[in-house]
A = this chain, B = another copy of it.
Amino acid sequence: VRCCTKERAAIFSIGSFGDRWHEMAVSNGINADLFKSELGSITSPEMVDQVLSTGKYDLVTITHNETSTGVMNPIDEISKVIKKYPQVIFCVDAVSSAAGVKIETDKLGIDICITSSQKALGLPPGLSICTISERAVEKARTVKNRGFYLDLVQLYDTIKTKDYQYPSTPNLSLMFALNYQLELIMEEGLENRFNRHLAMAEYTRNWAKKYFSLFPDEKYASVTLTTVKNTRHISVKELNEQLGKRGFVISNGYGNLKEKTFRIAHMADLTLEDVKELLLNIEDILSI
């Protein structure tokens, strides 16, 4: 958002991580407007169309998978709208979806797609990974005050001219771990991997509907984690303590949704068997 916004950024938010993108823009002195959807809802293609039709914006950010609400935005439909505005740079936060869900950056016209090592890639935290289009690099060249360590132009140019070396010392051990993990991902096969994620998501959603209820509209429920509405008013904190003793962990609701929802992650190296075992343990603890 700092490197490619020259005029004004349109930040669409469906939860905490969308809001954070706006904080980042503001703290970097970027002109940016925040367009929030209700918690549990998506950024609709109509909203994006309406905002971009003002002609005020040259960059748009979309959260693909909002970890705080378990909502996955319909990025294919949103991309169709954004394509109507060729001057706009299209940025996607795919932190918790990339490597668990297919994201065709070229086909969708995504200029910058950002992810992180510790979510669906299944590695420890410490590495952020991003794809960048030629269009975005050229745009960034026209933007001043891009900073040093996170300057996409300096990163791009150094990688291109220096045989994949970086301008500063990078996190080498995690890069080796990423390389290893990518080999395992290719061995599994991308389609197999995406199908495995889908199977885990469907199983968890059906379980949630049976015993509780889904927080987001099922049509937009995330493929990498499920946010469950706490309709039984259980103590999520206590449940998690009991699970911990058995070697499992779930997440409480994020921020304002604490105790009102809980979240079950099903991504990275987990299998459908792992998910089934976790859910059986929850049933057992809650005697449901």
Contact = CB atoms under 8 A, between A and B. Distances in A.
A28 interface: yes
Interface in A131-171: 144-151, 169-171
Contacts of A144: 29
A125 B27 contact: no
A195 to B, nearest CB: 28
Nearest to A177: B173
A1 B23 CA distance: 21
Interface string A197-211: 000000000000000
Interface in A1-35: 23-24, 27-29
A244 interface: no
Contact of A169 (B118, B145, B146, B147): B118
A27 B147 contact: yes
Nearest to A126: B171
A28 B118 contact: no
Interface string A22-56: 01100111000000000000000000000000000
Interface residues of A, number: 24
A286 B29 CA distance: 56
A116 interface: yes
Contacts of A29: 29, 144-145
A249 interface: no
Interface string A111-128: 000001010000011100
A275 interface: no
Contacts of A78: none
B148 A28 contact: yes
A103 interface: no
A193 B145 CA distance: 41
A174 B175 CA distance: 13
A148 B24 contact: yes
A224 to B, nearest CB: 16
B116 A147 contact: no
A27 B148 contact: yes
A169 B125 contact: yes
Nearest to A21: B148
A129 interface: no
Contact of A124 (B145, B148, B151, B172): B172
B23 A148 contact: yes
Interface centre among A124, A125, A148, by most chain B C-beta atoms within 10 angstroms, is A148
Contact of A173 (B27, B126, B150, B172): B126
Nearest to A149: B150
